[in-house]
Amino acid sequence: MKLTLGFSPCPNDTFIFDALIHQKIDTEGLTFEVCYDDVETLNQKAMKGELDITKLSFHAFAYVANQYALLDAGSALGFGVGPLLISKKHFDGDKDPQFQTSNSPLRVGIPGKYTTANFLLGIAYPHLQNKQEMVFSEIESALLNEDIDLGLIIHENRFTYQDKGLTKIIDLGDYWEKLTGCAIPLGGIVVNRNLDREVQLKVNRLVRKSVEYAFAHPRSAIDFIREHAQAMDEAVMYKHIELYVNKFSVNLGEEGRKAIDTLFNMARERNIIPAIENDLYV
């Protein structure tokens, strides 16, 4: 049985899925047709129900939870892994009136409307509404060219912005952790509810085995990771993996589910997401 599978070319995703798609583990009769896209493209594909299995932002998951169920394996949650709001010029977000005034003129580059990063930005700075959606890897250049005033960065850009002379305004992951005491839920792996229950459970089991294989053989996926990371330095690739792949990627557990439920409850209280009829999890 062949299933469509979408994930990003970022090192954390290629690290997680290498063993699965290259059959380094027993895939129990399943094969996978893979598409590689940035997270917001994957979010949009999930909105259209295009894929059997996909990585997406937890913010986006709220809009498709009636069509997709969340796996216990493969998620990106953690402490100290949140998105950063950065700039070329110096701003004090807590004191600068431009951050606190309705209809702020500040132009913000975001990696997608339905990213968890944008959701967290809305909680921290609700007045920053002049947003421009762009591919996450283009945000630093847009700041340097002064096409935007602020940039919301995710993924490996956490490790590169300072080298380009850019400045951090706030770590939104740290903000979330202080606000809730929970790990920050960034992205998860979901499976289409139209698939047989047995297949959904099998996918959940196989993704966990793929993550466990990756941890047991950390150099096994290096060529695959490097192929998709392209110009990224190997040290940065492994920093990226270390930051985003952890115990929650093996199994959400009670702590991971609490973090996700907290995020969704907060979003519902602020009328940011629609009502969800189904249980979130496989």
CB count within 10 Å of CB 265 equals 10
User: How high is the pLDDT of residue 243?
Assistant: 84
| 45 belongs to an annotated ligand binding site | no
CB count within 10 Å of CB 66 equals 12
Q: Are residues 88 and 176 in the same domain?
A: yes
Q: Are residues 149 and 190 in the same domain?
A: no
H or E segment and range at residue 176:
helix 172-180
Catalytic residue among 127, 155, 217, 240: 155
For residue 146, give both structure tokens.
């002064």
Active site residue 155: yes
Predicted structure pTM score: 0.85
| 258 belongs to an annotated ligand binding site | no
User: How high is the pLDDT of residue 252?
Assistant: 97
For residue 177, give both structure tokens.
């952790």
CB 224 within 8 A of CB 40: no
- Number of domains comprising the chain: 2
Q: Are residues 201 and 69 in the same domain?
A: yes
- State the Cα–Cα distance between residues 126 and 238, nearest whole angstrom: 34
Indicate whether 278 belongs to any domain. no
CATH code for the domain in which residue 7 is found: 3.40.190.10
Query: Which of the listed residues 155, 180, 205 is the one where a domain comes to its end?
Result: 180
For residue 200, give both structure tokens.
């959904």
For residue 226, give both structure tokens.
């490097």
Query: Which of the listed residues 180, 195, 216 is the one where a domain comes to its end?
Result: 180
φ and ψ of 246, to 5 deg: -155, -160
User: How high is the pLDDT of residue 231?
Assistant: 65
Q: Are residues 88 and 167 in the same domain?
A: yes
Query: Which of the listed residues 149, 180, 211 is the one where a domain comes to its end?
Result: 180
All residues at 6 or more sequence positions from 280 whose CB lies less than 8 Å from its CB, including other chains: 61, 65, 69, 70, 260, 261, 264
State the residue range of the domain holding 171.
84-180
User: How high is the pLDDT of residue 46?
Assistant: 97
Q: Which of 117, 191, 114, 193 is nearest to 150 (CA)?
A: 117
Q: Are residues 72 and 121 in the same domain?
A: no
The ranges of the chain with pLDDT < 70 are 156, 231
| 57 belongs to an annotated ligand binding site | yes
Q: Are residues 189 and 71 in the same domain?
A: yes
| 117 belongs to an annotated ligand binding site | yes
